[in-house]
């Protein structure tokens, strides 16, 4: 079963390469350019098969196969079973296995393998030319490629270096691609976390501001007007329930790796703007809501419009209430334009705190997501103004 699983497309290709290399080595031993081997002619094929076998299984254990291929080539050379003048061909399997080892192992290990194979090959060739070649019967006819040990050593070292260099380059490319994919994955996770953080900030910030205002009112009028306390508690209860529902929805998106544009996920949109205005009115804000919608925006745009209006009203409740506020949303099929303007605290009372917080950052990021514009600041006549424009393609694509 283990061998059957390994017999995939790459394994078949490796086996085919091993057979081709074995045929070339066997033919070179049978008909060498230099003196013939003293071994019987039929032995050329078993020798070629043994030397080439590591190529067929090099992906299983590259390091072991590299040692086996180099050892087989060295033994065949020292024993005189190779073709004089074509010894470099006997080390071609070692080159192929070295490529695989360099593509899978560390650079330090593959470099050590290269040095060991080169040293072993050079030693084997020097021994062959010093001890074996003088005892061989000279060739019947002079060859165009007479045996010459510097050529053999140069060819083998060049092939080994090339195989190692190509394998190292492949490994570097794979590592670089893996790091890039990992970096993109981490960036995607970070973006998703920021998106969820914005959602939670908008949901919790708006609801807690409303609850805080109502709790303050109830605390001040608890003895004099108990009916207002009951009304405030009712608002707090309703707001708490809706907030829990929103938090569960947002956390559900995080848990399921969902997208705000998924149709099966209930998300707020244009139809929920009146409810936002009603919540703000219950907190003492006189809200004048105007929505002009020539065409329904894509779901993601509707969510962004809702969140920007929600955060802007939250800022009004938190920093300027009670006051008067006008909310205008204009959608013409090409862009969504949002404007939220308040008159500032009544009776000249200074605002409770600086409005330049995470809420404005979140609104600006939502506008930037669509290549839009965002501005927020105090008005000369008093109060605060938030304006955003979200351009979009009618089909829902970002411009």
- pLDDT of 353 reads 53
- pLDDT of 67 reads 92
Residue carrying the six token digits 């955003």: 388
Q: What is the rounded CA–CA span in Å between residue 183 and residue 172?
A: 16
Q: What is the rounded CA–CA span in Å between residue 18 and residue 24?
A: 10
Q: Smallest Cα–Cα separation from 100: which of 53, 170, 3, 158? A: 170
**Residue 120 corresponds to which tokens in the numbers above?**
């072993």
**Crossing angle of helices 107-127 and 149-220, rounded to 10°:** 170
Residues near 287 by beta carbon (within 8 Å), at least 6 away in sequence = 277, 280, 281, 313, 325, 326, 327
Residue carrying the six token digits 């071609």: 92
Query: Measured in Å, how far apart are the chain's first and last C-alpha atoms?
Result: 54
Residue carrying the six token digits 């900030």: 201
Q: What are phi and psi of 322, to 5 degrees?
A: -75, 145
Spatial contact of 221 and 229, defined as CB atoms under 8 Å apart: yes
Spatial contact of 283 and 317, defined as CB atoms under 8 Å apart: yes
- pLDDT of 206 reads 59
- pLDDT of 4 reads 45
Q: Rounded to whole angstroms, what are the CA distances from 113 to 110, 120, 124, 308?
A: 5, 10, 16, 62
Show me where the domains of the chain are located: 2-182, 192-391
DSSP code of 331? E
Q: Which residues of the chain have pLDDT under 70?
A: 1-8, 34, 137-147, 188-189, 192-210, 212-266, 321, 347-358, 394-399
Taking CB atoms within 8 Å and a gap of at least 24, the contacts of 352-358 are 352/318, 352/319, 352/320, 353/318, 353/319, 355/315, 355/319, 355/384, 358/201
Q: Smallest Cα–Cα separation from 331: which of 363, 294, 304? A: 294
pTM here is 0.53
Selecting from 3.50.30.60, 3.30.565.10, 3.30.910.20, 2.30.40.10, what CATH number does the domain 192-391 have? Answer: 3.30.565.10
């Amino acid at each position: 079963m283990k061998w059957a699983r390994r017999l995939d497309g790459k394994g078949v290709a490796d086996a085919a390469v091993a057979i081709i290399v074995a045929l070339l080595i066997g033919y070179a031993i049978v008909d060498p350019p230099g003196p013939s081997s003293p071994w019987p002619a039929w032995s050329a094929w078993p020798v070629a098969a043994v030397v080439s076998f590591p190529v067929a299984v090099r992906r299983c254990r590259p390091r072991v196969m590299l040692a086996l291929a180099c050892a087989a080539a060295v033994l065949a050379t020292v024993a005189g079973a190779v073709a004089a003048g074509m010894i470099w061909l006997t080390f071609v399997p070692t080159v192929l296995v070295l490529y695989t080892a360099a593509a899978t192992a560390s650079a330090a290990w593959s470099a050590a393998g290269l040095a060991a194979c080169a040293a072993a090959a050079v030693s084997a060739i020097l021994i062959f030319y010093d001890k074996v070649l003088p005892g061989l019967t000279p060739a019947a006819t002079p060859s165009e490629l007479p045996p010459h040990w510097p050529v053999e050593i140069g060819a083998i070292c060049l092939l080994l270096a090339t195989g190692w260099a190509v394998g190292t380059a492949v490994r570097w490319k794979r590592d670089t691609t893996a790091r890039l994919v990992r970096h993109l994955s981490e960036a995607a996770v970070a973006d998703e976390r920021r998106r969820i953080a914005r959602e939670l900030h908008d949901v919790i910030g708006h609801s807690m501001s409303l609850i805080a205002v109502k709790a303050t009112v109830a605390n001040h009028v608890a003895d004099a007007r108990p009916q207002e306390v009951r009304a405030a508690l009712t608002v707090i209860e309703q707001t708490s329930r809706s907030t829990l529902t929103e938090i569960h929805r947002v956390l559900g998106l995080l848990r399921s790796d969902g997208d705000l544009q998924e149709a099966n996920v209930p998300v707020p949109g244009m139809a929920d703007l009146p409810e936002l205005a009603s919540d703000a009115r219950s907190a003492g804000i006189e809200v004048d809501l105007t929505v002009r919608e020539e065409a329904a925006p894509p779901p993601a745009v509707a969510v962004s419009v809702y969140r920007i209006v929600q955060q802007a009203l939250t800022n009004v409740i938190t920093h300027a209430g009670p006051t008067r506020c006008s909310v205008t949303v204009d959608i013409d099929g090409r862009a969504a334009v949002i404007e939220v303007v308040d008159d500032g605290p009544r009776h000249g009372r200074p605002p409770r705190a600086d409005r330049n917080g995470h809420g404005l950052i979140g609104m600006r990021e939502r506008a930037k997501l669509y290549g839009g514009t965002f501005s927020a600041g105090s008005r000369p006549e008093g109060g605060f103004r938030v304006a955003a424009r979200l351009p979009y393609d009618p089909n829902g694509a970002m411009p």
